[in-house]
Amino acid sequence: MREIDIYLVDAFSERPFEGNAAAVCVLENWLPDPLLLKMAQQHNQSETAFVVQHPSGFELRWFTTRQEVNLCGHATLATAYVIFQQLNYPERIVRFETASGQLTVTRDGEWLTLDFPVGETQPATPPAGMLQALGITDYVSARKGRAWVIELKNRQQVEAVTPNISAMIPGEHKVAITARGDGEYDFVSRFFSPGEAVWEDPVTGSSHTMLIPYWGEKLGKTQMLARQVSARGGDVRCEWQGSRVLMGGKASLYLKGTLFLPEVTLGR
């Protein structure tokens, strides 16, 4: 019987039931991909992160309940939290080898900061069907990268969007809607990904790789504070450094346990 440590962490939040939850499994070595997917399906979170430590650092992979993905911000932050707080990693920076290259997370007290590549976007005209499914009749601007970025007039319009998810699934299905913030926040956003395990993501690191340079250029800032105004919500400290973006957040441990896998399931 193989025993594997598992943690359920709320990322981009300093308390449970907010931010974005991720399961983190600490492995001694890699298991077969079909087994990793089954484990992610059993956990039934938007993302399950699997991490293996090597002498030079850590190798990190992310799985939804449907497939492996090549980038996930909140699960990376959750994994770093486990390494720092639960595994007592002594260094200030943890380095991950991933499908998106080397990613680092730096700790500064309770804040953990992700260092990710910028998500490039280009001006584009959104499909009429997607706008109709979102219930958006007017927008300020739109860009397309790894997902759509659509700017609305204000925070109230972002919060009021109630998409027809089933109408979005056949076509373009990843979109961040955003607006200039109010009060302490420079900008706000929501992120929809119909066809994935979670249709509206609570707090999305990958979308902020596009939003940070977008708002940085528009506001003339390199440092910003963002709020993802989903039902759970979460704050993201943002910094734009040319081809890189820094995304800072806190995390909260919700669950800690042990997985038990019979040896018969572990063969390649």
Distance (Å) of CA 97 to CA 41, 51, 94, 129:
23, 10, 10, 38
Cβ burial 158-179 (10 Å sphere, 16+ → b, else e): beebebebeebeeebbbbbbbb
Please tell me whether residue 37 adopts helix, strand or coil conformation: helix
For 184-208, b where at least 16 C-beta lie within 10 A, e where not — what string? ebbbbbbbbbbebbbbbbbbbbbbb
Can 47 be counted among the known catalytic residues? yes
Q: Which residues make Cβ contacts (< 8 Å) with residue 30, sequence separation at least 6? A: 50, 52, 59
Residue 179's H or E segment, with its range, is strand 175-180
Catalytic site residue from 47, 159, 200, 263:
47
Return the C-alpha torsion angle 78, 229, 69, 256, nearest 10: 30
Q: Residue 24: CA atoms inside 13 Å, Cβ hemisphere, count?
A: 33
Nearest to 49 by CA among 109, 114, 107: 114
Q: Residue with structure tokens 């706000």?
A: 188
Distance CA 176, CA 187 (A): 12
DSSP 8-state class, residue 154: S
Query: DSSP class of residue 264?
Result: G
Cβ contact 128:157 at 8 Å: no
Catalytic positions, written as ranges: 47
